[in-house]
Structure 1
Amino acid sequence: MNRLFFRFFLFVMLAITGAAFAVHFAISRLYGDPLEDIARRQAAAQIFLLQHYVDQAPPDEWLARLNKVREVSDVRYDLVPLAQVRAALPESRHAALARGDVVIDVAHKAFFRRVDLKGERYVGSDEDVIHAQGLPIDTSQALWQEGLRYAVVALALLAPIALWSRSHWKGLQHLSQVADDFGAGQLSARAVMPRSASIYPLAERMNAMAARIGQLLESQRSLLHSVSHEIRTPIARLEFGLELLRSAADAESNPALEKRIAAMEKDLYELNALVSELLGMARLDSGQPLQRQPFGLADALRDCVAGLPPGADIELQLADDLGTVDGDARLLMRAVGNLAGNARKYAAHRVVVAAARLPDSVEIIVDDDGPGIPPDEREHIFEPFYRLDRSRDRNTGGFGLGLSIARKAVALHGGSVQAADSPLGGARFTVRLPV
């Protein structure tokens, strides 16, 4: 936000500077150099003396009067050949010199003027130029005045712009804070500002958007609770019915019926697991705030691995300085459990879960020695219901939600999950959590 207004301020300053140069250029083109006019006014006494005293002398006394002026004046008057002056002056000043005008040299505090145009003062006077040096010309004060004038104009423009920008800045800061609060799960956060505020329409639209999102999330929560109740209830009845049916089958010793009941129980277990996964995914997407609190990472990882279903052994390699992590332990360990369970499902013999503490993050790595994941599939596997071709059978496939839930859970903590090749030959999943 500060960068936005700094750029705006810089743009205004550049615009004012450009306008100052444009004004100076336009005045110079239309009316001549302003500094030359100032210098001409400052040298007005010397010019007047030359034009109304020296030039008024009779032809045979012109040089004598010039010498008298030399004696009493602090200004140095020299007679210089016309060709030499033309070589010293830029071509744009030659025409004025040829007309007999006074040509001001501001940089050297001097002026040039031809003695006359017809050689009437003395022999060869039409080829001589009076060069007056040491004139009382000082344009620094004029430049300071000009700079002060533009500074006053700049301040007069910047003061109201600054006040106007400050109100915008405060309003945008407030909107930014509301957006952060809303994104953090405070769905009741709203922008409150007077109707006279310039960004009030934006705040109203943002509040309407937040209200709509809040309604959608609340509807999703209601649907989640309803679905949880409505689906769990028939599943429980089915489980109870199957249990009664199994008791009857055991009493009749009917192997075919027992096999069919076992298949139905397996289907029911998968349905129950699918509902649990879907409800878990919905909870992550519902915007519910995390139950954050510090927890010991090493102990949590040991409990997580110990709580996984039976299968291949998982080797733990935990650093001694893991310390604590601030977050929702249940959610994070579910993510790690999904990754470890997925690794154990496809591993040939070995699964390793390692953890280390870096300067600015905690890194949890899950390696396996299975078939690995093709590079072009490594981002797709985190999409809901996406499964690799080799895992689409019911024995190993799952539902394609475990990795998606893992990435969402880690992302809610500001972390990331990436898939890569493992040194063991299979897949490596790396979880990075900020500390």
Structure 2
Amino acid sequence: MNRIFYRIFPLIVLAIAVAAVAIYFLLSRLFGDPLEDIARKQAAGPIFLLEQYIDQAPPDEWLVRLNKVREVSGLSLELVPLDTALPALDDARRGALERGNIVLDIGGKSLLRRVDLAGERYVGSEDEVLHVRNLPIDVGLELKMEALRYLVVALCVLVPIALWSRSHWLELLSLSQVADRFGEGRLSVRARTKKASGLYPLSLRMNQMAERIESLLGAHRDLLHSVSHEVRTPIARIEFSLELLRDAAGPDEREARIRLMEDDLRELNGLVNELLQLTRLDQPQAARAQRFSLAETLHDSAARLEHAFAGKRFAQELPEDLGDMAGDRRLVARAIGNLLANGAKYAHREVRLSASSSAPASSAPGGDGDWIEVIVEDDGPGIPADARERIFEPFYRLDRSRDRATGGFGLGLAIARKAVQLHGGTITVADSPLGGAKFILRLPRGMASGARLPETASRN
């Protein structure tokens, strides 16, 4: 059922009716009663005879011509006293009659007019009124024609609206069906509407929402699968160590088993903490960004990882005029720290940290028009081009050699990207002139429009 049309149809008809009444009263107020103009046009013949034939007669022939018109026209022409005609009229029409004007009676199909104002036709003619009846006045016909005109206008308006509303109703039904199928769990379904459609922006937003939900659910599903594997591994080692602990031959072996179990517990605790951090970043809440010194944050992040660069050369190329930026300092420091830790793990001899200000890229979301670019590069084995997006997925490792002993839990880069995205920035990977990987982190100096920060993070 085309509910849109059925709801708008009475409104259109009512609007046209109200417009017709408003037009009538407006014209009446400004230019006089339109119905009287119609009646005067319809009675134009008798009025012409009165003004051009009877009134033009000499005084001694005026009554003769009046009788001739009565005989040949079929009109009823009577002379009535002025005092008798005036009481039946309202004030405006009474004044018009006293001035010698023609006064029409539309309902009675008649007109009134004084014979003359000075008694020139015959003795006492100034006190008599000519009453002409049976005039060819039919206002009802004119009203029907006017109603027909409004009906044609209404149809010309309603037919396109009916076609338009039907098209939109079908598209709304299509969107409703897509929403129903999506709610049933068919996450790959998408709305399809033409770009020229008025509902195209809505379908586009629905598709973006669906893609986001599908992506989040897919990421959570993969995360749960990976978590189940990653958590079971240290738990299995702890269970195995407990079994060996029961069969330990002496205190030294028992102490060694306990140390191994403690290491596994620390690993499990670290994994849980990383997962909690990743989960918080996946569920952002609005928070107020604060301004902080970017150069100071970069120096602090590097200082905390000084032990990780033991035996390697760490170079910093940080200009003094980096200035301040708005955002969550802890999250920015975490992202940079994760990139530095990643470089320290896989570099052979050298890791380099640099930063600069740059103009905004045309494809990047806008901040306040100024961008900060932070680069972390190393001389390690590098990252293949086909894996440069996947390394930001939770628990992803390039190969078996990068196990937890060298590659951590596989969550550092995922946390770094989410922290940067919350600020409206990006992280990309390229080849470094040093021979290894080059991580390019771009952040708007001011918070990007629509960017959000976790409320818990902003308090720290």
Deviations 1:94-115 (A, max 9, x none): 3322221211111211111111
User: CA RMSD of the aligned region, Å?
Assistant: 3.8
Letter in 1 for 2:117: L
Question: Taking structure 2 as the reference length, what is the TM-score of the superposition?
Answer: 0.48
Matched with 1:116 is 116
Aligned to 1:63: 63
Displacement of 1:182 in angstroms is 1.2
TM-superposed CA distance for 1:46, in Å, is 1.7
1:83 aligns with 2:83: yes
Which residue number corresponds to residue 142 of structure 2?
A: 142
Does residue 42 in structure 1 map to residue 42 in structure 2? yes
Instruction: Give the SS at the match of 1:211.
Output: helix
- 1:257-311 alpha-carbon deviations (Å, 9 max, x no partner): xxxxxxxxxxxxxxxxxxxxxxxxxxxxxxxxxxxxxxxxxxxxxxxxxxxxxxx
Q: Which amino acid aligns with 2:161?
A: I
Alignment CA distance shift 1:68-1:242 (3 Å): same
Shift of the alpha carbon at 1:33?
2.6
**2:177 maps to 1:195:** no
1:315 aligned residue:
none
Shift in CA distance, 241/135, structure 1 to aligned 2, threshold 3 Å: same
Q: Equivalent residue of 1:165, what SS?
A: helix
Amino acid aligned to 2:66: L
Q: How far does residue 226 in structure 1 lie from its aligned partner after superposition?
A: 3.1
* Shift, 1:86, TM fit: 2.7
1:6 Cα deviation from its structure 2 partner: 3.1
Q: Partners of 1:183 and 1:85 in 2: how far apart?
A: 81
Deviation at 1:238, TM superposition (A): 6.5
Separation in 1 of the partners of 2:169 and 2:64?
Answer: 75
Q: Identical aligned pairs, as a percentage?
A: 61
**Contact 2:113–2:130 under 8 Å retained in 1:** yes
Q: How far 1:2 sits from its partner (Å)?
A: 4.1
Task: Check the 8 A contact 2:110/2:135 in 1, yes or no.
Answer: yes
Q: Is the 8 A contact 2:4 2:169 kept in 1?
A: no
- Describe the SS at the equivalent of 1:23: helix
Q: Report the CA distance between 1:243 and its aligned residue.
A: 8.4
Q: Is the 8 A contact 2:5 2:162 kept in 1?
A: no
**Counterparts in 2 of 1:70 and 1:226: CA distance versus 1, 3 Å:** same
2:225 aligned residue: 225
SS in 2 for 1:77: strand
1:15 alignment partner in structure 2? 15
Deviation of residue 236 (structure 1)? 6.6
Q: Report the Cα distance in structure 2 between the residues aligned to 1:108 and 1:39, rounded to whole angstroms.
A: 11
Change (3 A) 1:16 1:229: same
- How far 1:200 sits from its partner (Å)? 1.8
Q: Counterpart of 2:74 in 1: which secondary structure?
A: coil
Structure 2: how far apart are the matches of 1:176 and 1:104? 62
1:39-59 deviations in Å (ceiling 9; x for gaps) = 222222222222233323333
Distance across 1 between alignment mates of 2:206 and 2:10: 29
Residues 183, 103 of structure 1: CA spacing in aligned structure 2 closer, same or farther, 3 A cutoff?
same
Corresponding residue for residue 180 of structure 2: 180
Per-residue CA distance 1:71-114 (angstroms, 9 max, x = gap): 44422222233233332222232332222121111121111111
1:218 to partner: Cα distance: 1.3
Give the match's secondary structure for 1:123: coil
**Which secondary structure state, in structure 2, belongs to the residue aligned with residue 191 of structure 1?**
coil
Q: Counterpart of 1:332?
A: none
Structure 1 segment 307-322 matched on structure 2, within 5 A: none
How far the C-alpha of 1:211 sits from its partner, in A, is 0.2
Structure 2 Cα separation of the partners of residues 211 and 152 of structure 1: 48
Aligned to 2:213: 213
- The one-letter code matched in structure 1 to 2:52 is H
- SS of 1:201's partner is helix
Letter matched to residue 125 of structure 1: S
The SS at the match of 1:153 is helix
Label 1:80 to 1:231 Cα distance change in 2 as closer, same or farther (>3 A): farther
Counterparts of 1:5 and 1:214, CA distance in 2: 35
Structure 1's 235 and 85: CA in aligned 2 closer, same or farther, altered over 3 A? farther
Secondary structure in 1 matching 2:135: coil
C-alpha distance in 2, partners of 1:84/1:239? 123
Q: What is the count of residue pairs matched by the alignment?
A: 258
Report the Cα distance in structure 1 between the residues aligned to 2:98 and 2:243, rounded to whole angstroms. 122
Amino acid at match of 1:178: V
Q: 1:265 — aligned with what?
A: none
Tell me the distance in 2 between the aligned counterparts of 1:226 and 1:84.
107
User: For 2:107, what is the secondary structure of its paired residue?
Assistant: coil
Deviation of residue 137 (structure 1)?
A: 1.3
Question: Does the C-alpha gap of structure 1 residues 130 and 240 become closer, same or farther in structure 2, counting only changes over 3 Å?
Answer: farther
2:306 match: none
| Deviation readout 1:160-181 (Å, 9 max, x if unpaired) | 3333333322222222221222
Give the drift of 1:209.
1.1
CA distance in 2 between partners of 1:42 and 1:226 (Å): 92
| Secondary structure of 2:130 counterpart | strand
Q: Paired residue for 1:167?
A: 167
Contact 2:42 2:137 in 1 (8 A): yes
Give the TM-score normalised by structure 1. Answer: 0.51
Instruction: Please state whether the residue corresponding to 1:104 is helix, strand or coil.
Output: strand
Distance 2:157 2:235 in 1: 73
- Distance 1:159-1:4 versus aligned 2 partners, 3 A rule: closer
Structure 1 position 60, deviation (Å)? 4.1
**What secondary structure, in the 3-state scheme, does the structure 1 residue paired with 2:7 have?**
helix
Shift of 1:232: 5.4
CA distance in 1, matches of 2:233, 2:79: 118
AA matched with 1:48: F
Partner of 1:386: none
With CA pairs under 8 Å and 6+ residues apart, which has the higher RCO, 1 or 2? 2
Structure 1 portions without partners, runs of 5+: 249-435
Name the amino acid aligned to 1:58: P
Call closer, same or farther: CA 1:127–1:235 in 2, change over 3 Å: farther
Secondary structure at 2:77 match in 1: strand
Q: Distance in 2 between matches of 1:86 and 1:147?
A: 35
Q: 1:235 Cα deviation (Å)? A: 5.8
Q: What SS is found at the alignment partner of 2:6?
A: helix
1:213: how far off?
0.9
| Structure 2: runs of 5 or more not aligned | 248-460
